Amino acid sequence: MAIILDKLDYVYSPGTAYEKHALKNINLVINDGEFIGIIGHTGSGKSTLIQHMNGLVKATGGTVYYNGADIYDEDYKLKDLRTKVGLVFQYPEHQLFETTVLKDVQFGPKNLGLPPLEVDLRAYDALKQVGIGDDLIDASPFELSGGQKRRVAIAGVLAMKPEVLILDEPTAGLDPKGRDEILDQIAKIHKEQKITVILVSHSMEDVAKYVDRIIVMNHGEAVYDGAPKEVFAHYKELEQIGLAAPQVTYAMHALRDAGIPVTTDATTVEEARDAILAWYREEKK
């Protein structure tokens, strides 16, 4: 019972021409140690939703509980919450500002008021976790490549040792290699440190490969919530709201339609391969 969103409602700029109902009655429970994917097309409320989870945006209705405490209570310390729920924004490299990579990563732990030694330790540790080598530690963050910058920015949040790590489109604008590297590193951090990870994405392939639960957002509502297999079984409905299941799901359905009795719930290439091989062996007997 880490984060509970209870009847969450959010309206942007109420009472103006720009009024927008961004979240409608969201009820979610995010358990400790889960690896969750939030998908939805642009403007579906994904980013607004995750900003509620660490109190950066205050809901216009409903409330958020973190470990049982109501974060909208007057004496609740939002600053503490923000250190426990680490949020990596979209294009996080745009928030880098320090003169060296190391100093930038130290910004978070320093704000926590930790002793200098602990700050250093955490910064080095976080940089190592995201695969930034010692040779880049004293470089200016603005000299790095796009993928490196992004990893430094993620390290900046990791250095605060959050209990929940939320990443908003961490792979946007990266090439396939950079994308895989970052996602693999995130999966590794999730596995080794047993922290909760929430991944916001609109790439079904990314999400299907890593997460064990998917939440689908559409027009401010959470329309589906379940294991990838369950969610992608609704691939026809997903298409209607402008999303799509992973390509293998389509391939498996096409095989089945062509009269080959394979199971259709594969969501990754590996699972699809196993399913086809299973059918092939069966056939050979």
Partner 1 sequence: MIRDITIGQYYPADSILHRLDPRVKLSGTLIYIVCLFLVKNLWGYLIAALCLGAIIRLSKVPFGFIVRGLKTIIILLLFTVAFNLFLTSGTPIFEWKFIRITKEGVSLAFSMAVRLILLILGSSLMTFTTTPNQLTDGMESLLGPLKKLHVPVHEIAMMMSIALRFIPILLEETDKIMKAQQARGADFETGGIIKRAKAMVPILVPLFISAFRRAGDLAMAMEARCYRGGEGRTKMKPLKYHKPDGIAWVAIVCFIALTVVSRRF
Give the binding site for partner 1 (CB under 8 A): 13, 15-17, 51, 54, 56, 79, 82-83, 86-89, 92, 94-97, 107-108, 111-112, 142, 156-157, 160
Q: Closest CB to partner 1 among 64 and 157?
A: 157
CB of 69 to partner 1, least distance (A): 19
Q: Closest CB to partner 1 among 196 and 249?
A: 196
25: tokens are 């009655």
Which amino acid is residue 220, in one-letter code? G
Give SS3 for 211: coil
Q: Closest CB to partner 1 among 35 and 89?
A: 89
Of all helices (H) and strands (E), which one includes residue 35? strand 35-39
Give SS3 for 176: helix
CB of 189 to partner 1, least distance (A): 17
Q: Closest CB to partner 1 among 74 and 135?
A: 74
Q: Closest CB to partner 1 among 18 and 240?
A: 18
Residues of 206-216 as b/e, b for ≥16 C-beta within 10 angstroms?
Answer: bbbbbbebbbb
DSSP code, position 114: -
Position of tokens 């209990």? 163
CB of 267 to partner 1, least distance (A): 31
CB of 167 to partner 1, least distance (A): 11
CB of 83 to partner 1, least distance (A): 6
CB of 79 to partner 1, least distance (A): 7
264: left (phi over 0), alpha (psi -120 to 50) or beta: alpha
Give SS3 for 260: coil
CB of 149 to partner 1, least distance (A): 11
Contacts of 282 (CB under 8 A, 6+ apart): none
Q: Closest CB to partner 1 among 173 and 261?
A: 173
197: tokens are 């990870």
Contacts of 113 (CB under 8 A, 6+ apart): none
Give SS3 for 196: strand
Q: Closest CB to partner 1 among 72 and 250?
A: 72
